[in-house]
Amino acid sequence: MIRRLLLLVLLVLAPIQATAQQSLAGRFLEGSWALRVEGSIIMRWDLERQGETWGGTWVKPTSFRSDGVRFGNIVMPSTERTADRGQAIGEWAEITFDDPRPGEEPDQFRFRLIGPDRAEMLYVGTGLPPFILERVAADALIGPFEEGEVYGSAAAPGPARPAATPSTAVPPAPRATPPATPRQQAPLPAEQPPVQGPPAMTGR
């Protein structure tokens, strides 16, 4: 009898605890979150809980190009867009920004708290891996940017190289090689490289 009573209490408390955790996460998720790359803030989102839904703003450069890792062709000043709608999906906050251009898909972002000052962001529909955001002040400025600079180029994606395997073969005699030339930073391609889903983050 006592065992059944305890089981009943646990079943009743479980959804209450889950709701309390989601509510707590939601409260801490409110605020301003920045995507920082190589010391510069590329974009900032200001999230606001509105009862059972979410709202917010998206602060970003006037325009930019990105493959989801590198950010270049950045044009300032920064612009601010207000979310057209938002909702809570479990522990996630989702906000949507409609694209004013005819026939274009909306920009949809989902946010989840992963630490006191860290959040995970998904850019819905792109197939890109999650972005890690940091908590910042509500008036944190976008930038700074240097003209022509590509941010995130050190982490640019490329073909995987096979791991070296041991060999018992006698290595060939070394060949004379020309002097090494300084390594140049790879420019962001004029056309975005393919990603899963729609093109990633072309600023507008």
Residue 139, domain extent: 30-154
Q: Which of 122, 183, 124 is nearest to 156 (CA)?
A: 183
The CATH number of the domain where 144 resides is what? 2.40.128
Spatial distance between the Cα atoms of 23 and 149, rounded to a whole number of angstroms: 41
CB crowding 164-198: b at 16 or more within 10 Å, else e:
eeeeeeeeeeeeeeeeeeeeeeeebeeebeebeee
User: Does some domain include residue 92?
Assistant: yes
Q: Is residue 76 part of a domain?
A: yes
Residue 41, domain member (yes or no) = yes
Please write the tens of the pLDDT for every residue from 167-189: 333 444 444 444 444 444 555 55
CB 139 within 8 A of CB 125: no
Render pLDDT for 22-64 as a digit per residue (tens, 0 to 9): 454 556 899 999 999 999 999 999 999 998 999 999 999 999 9
**Other C-beta atoms within 10 Å of 200: how many?**
20
Cα distance from N-terminal residue to C-terminal residue, the chain: 64
How many separate domains does the chain show? 1
Q: What is the pTM of this model?
A: 0.67
